[in-house]
Amino acid sequence: MTAATAKKAGQAKKKIAIVVGRFNEPICARLLEGCLDQLTKHGYRRSDVVITWVPGAFEIPLTALKHAQKKTIAAVICLGAVIQGETDHYRLVADGAARGIMEVGLLTQKPVIFEVLATPTVELANQRAKTRGSNKGRDAADAAVEMINIIQEI
């Protein structure tokens, strides 16, 4: 059932929450922009979306959990960028974010979409967050809408 179908059936359309890590903000802002553009194509208005910025990718799971626990939220999209530095710290952050985000979905039984880039270079992250062309934020929006529909059908 699409958002438009749910609205026609008299059901209140639930909101989508987007949690965005502020670390590597230029990249994350483009992911968010792509995500919002794609949600618009799926029939969501800006008022249907709740955006929360957090310090970085490691802080995303807790915030995603708080959103997913709300009855008014149908799905949570998690956006961030972790880029390799001189140490393995980025692996710990990326692994922790991935594990935490997965657990939120399992705990709440709601779609929680993982789109935290983990790349060895800024260039590779930028290639995945283009204003025009490839943008993983768009992919995250598509996944969220598809999963909302799947969960509703089950």
Residue 136 placed within a domain: yes
34 and 87 in contact (C-beta within 8 Å)? no
Instruction: For residue range 54-101, list pLDDT tens digits in order.
Output: 999 999 999 999 999 999 999 999 999 999 999 999 999 999 999 999
Domain-located, residue 4? no
Domain housing 141: 14-153
Distance CA(154)–CA(26), nearest Å, equals 38
**Considering the domain boundaries, does residue 88 fall inside one?**
yes
Query: 7, 41, 45, 89: which is the annotated catalytic residue?
Result: 89
How many structural domains is the chain composed of? 1
Contacts with 123 (C-beta within 8 Å, 6 or more apart), sequence order: none
Q: Tokens at residue 41, please?
A: 């194509």
In a domain, 144, yes or no: yes
Nearest to 34 by CA among 81, 2, 67, 102: 81
Say if 7 falls within a structural domain.
no
Residue 8: predicted pLDDT:
43
Active site residue 67: no
The CATH code of the domain that includes 108 is 3.40.50.960
